[in-house]
Structure 1
Amino acid sequence: MQNAHIRHLFGLQRIALVVGLLLTLSVKTSAQQNLNMLEHDAKPYYFGITLATNQSFYKLSHSKRFLATDSINVAEPLKTFGFNLGLLANARLSEHFDLRINPQLVFASKNLYYSETYGETPTTTKNIESILVSFPLQVKFKSDRIGNLRVYTIAGLKYDFDLASNARAKRAEELVKVKSGDYGFELGAGFEFYFESFIFSPEFKISNGLGNVHAPDKNLRYSNVIDQLHSRMLVFSIHLEG
């Protein structure tokens, strides 16, 4: 698990390096460039598509039964990678503020790791697959344009519906059940690179759930040691806007 986590960190560092190089090249050449898509800044609204990768996990709090049991001595979340596909609609509020809707289909896996004192398998990983339909509503604050570059930040709320939720599953031997609905907040920042016919926007954001998605079931031993599960997600997105 440690080697996988190190590989994930190197992957994020490579992404950050590419974005940094694009930013440096854009700033150095902005004085020599023609300004692209000048009419775009006055558009009342525009649309786009989103391609993204995510790192997701649960923030886990243990129940009182975890301290009382002697069979399960470790229960902790694992970080895993997934991807997002989405659409984007952006409405201009003022020179520096926009209202943005970015519905997405999110493929994520928030797994749980268990270590047991007894039994044939001392360690167990419970795979909790999620297919989320996410509805974020965000306010976007934009900087002044620097040549063909603009920097922005976002903040907003979201609602997620898990199409793969197992909360009502009847056959759930030794599973951990999760609810289908969740809500939360999103914070992020990104860059807009203006090309001749489109805008290329790399963006980093955190997307955290505020609701407890754990669906407790006293008959499930791996669920009994958990009190609450809150979703956590780090997302790197590429928006292509026109």
Structure 2
Amino acid sequence: MQNTNIWRKLNLQWHKIAIALFFALTSSLVAQGQLSQEAKWARKNNPNYDKKKLTYGFLIGLHTSTYQIKYSDRMTSQKFDSLHSVVPDWNRGFALGFIVNYRATDFLDLRLTPTVAFHEHTLNYRFTDPAVPDIRELVETTMVELPILLKYKSERRGNVRMYVVGGVKPSIEASGKNKEDEKNGNLKITGSNINLEAGFGFDLYYPLFKFSPEIRFSRGLSNILANTTNAYGLPLKSVNTNTITIYFLFQ
């Protein structure tokens, strides 16, 4: 149990550190852009970039994600009187993808970012008897994601532009179900999901490209619990996903 608690604390710390680093990096880059703007010799990098209707690029994402669970009524039955709780952890992962950006107006873009994301989720099954060790159930998934996003931008000031972004993210599992896991009765989840997404970022213009650090929050709308008939699924009524992702976009 002690090892599980230490692991969980480390994941929570990484979650906080990643967000703090994002804000520190973004503040530093934005401040650098503002200082260069104030200089008398400052010029706009890529002054015609925002006139393009279509732009392309790639992205790298670092995320931390967890399950949000609801207990079933069976949790209060005598069958589960020894089970104290089911506790999800935050786990790290990463994503790689492409960017297709369409400029609808001077301040509004439509953005598609087909992405492959690698996720790990864990549930800790804790028992009332201290002699019974926790069970740590690990679920690994590789998802093909297609976020469809609207990007609302501020006025460009020098080489910096702030924006907010939001939309939906359908996703489907790329790797097939492990037959061995099916036989062993592990926690079973569906192979698809849909999420609501919202976030913000900064467009930083450089002579040869545009770099955009972005943080995005994702909330799963689908109940991805596929089987409630084995020991892992019986105590649960629903499982949803929550994800926080830091993206680095290059266009």
- Which of 11, 32, 50 is the equivalent residue of 1:41? 50
Note the alpha carbon deviations across 1:46-71, whole angstroms, 9 max, x for none.
10000010011111001111121212
**Which secondary structure state, in structure 2, belongs to the residue aligned with residue 20 of structure 1?**
helix
Structure 1 position 23, deviation (Å): 1.1
Structure 1 residue 226 and structure 2 residue 226: aligned? Answer: no
Structure 1 position 119, deviation (Å): 9.5
- How many residue pairs are counted as aligned between the two chains? 240
Contact conserved, 2:97 with 2:113, CA < 8 A, in 1?
yes
Structure 1 residue 64 and structure 2 residue 73: aligned? Answer: yes
Structure 1 position 175, deviation (Å): 1.0
Structure 1 residue 74 and structure 2 residue 85: aligned? Answer: yes
Structure 1 position 29, deviation (Å): 1.9
TM (normalized to structure 1)? 0.93
Structure 1 position 12, deviation (Å): 2.5
TM (normalized to structure 2)? 0.90
Structure 1 position 168, deviation (Å): 7.7
Contact conserved, 2:11 with 2:90, CA < 8 A, in 1?
no
- Which of 23, 33, 36 is the equivalent residue of 1:29? 36
- Rounded Cα–Cα distance in structure 2 between residues aligned with 1:18 and 1:140: 21
Contact conserved, 1:167 with 1:177, CA < 8 A, in 2?
no
- Rounded Cα–Cα distance in structure 2 between residues aligned with 1:7 and 1:103: 26
Aligned-partner residue type, residue 212 of structure 1: N
**Which secondary structure state, in structure 1, belongs to the residue aligned with residue 68 of structure 2?**
strand
The 1:45–1:34 alpha-carbon spacing in structure 2 relative to 1, beyond 3 Å, is same
Match of residue 5 from structure 2: none
Contact conserved, 1:37 with 1:195, CA < 8 A, in 2?
yes
Runs of 4+ residues over 3 Å off in structure 1: 117-121, 164-172
**Which secondary structure state, in structure 2, belongs to the residue aligned with residue 192 of structure 1?**
strand
- Rounded Cα–Cα distance in structure 2 between residues aligned with 1:8 and 1:89: 29
Match of residue 103 from structure 1: 114
Structure 1 position 4, deviation (Å): 3.6
Note the alpha carbon deviations across 1:160-195, whole angstroms, 9 max, x for none.
102246498773424110000111211010001100
**1:13-162 pair list within 5 angstroms:** 13-32=20-39, 33-68=42-77, 69-117=80-128, 121-162=132-173
Contact conserved, 1:129 with 1:164, CA < 8 A, in 2?
no
**Which secondary structure state, in structure 1, belongs to the residue aligned with residue 155 of structure 2?**
coil
Structure 1 position 80, deviation (Å): 0.4
Moved more, 33-42 or 195-204: 33-42
Aligned-partner residue type, residue 214 of structure 1: L
- Which of 185, 197, 203 is the equivalent residue of 2:214? 203
Moved more, 61-70 or 3-12: 3-12
Note the alpha carbon deviations across 1:17-54, whole angstroms, 9 max, x for none.
11111111211221322101111111010100000100
Contact conserved, 1:98 with 1:139, CA < 8 A, in 2?
yes
- RMSD of aligned alpha carbons: 1.8
Structure 1 residue 5 and structure 2 residue 15: aligned? Answer: no
The 1:3–1:44 alpha-carbon spacing in structure 2 relative to 1, beyond 3 Å, is closer
- Rounded Cα–Cα distance in structure 1 between residues aligned with 2:34 and 2:20: 21
Q: Which runs of 5+ in 2 are unaligned?
A: 1-7
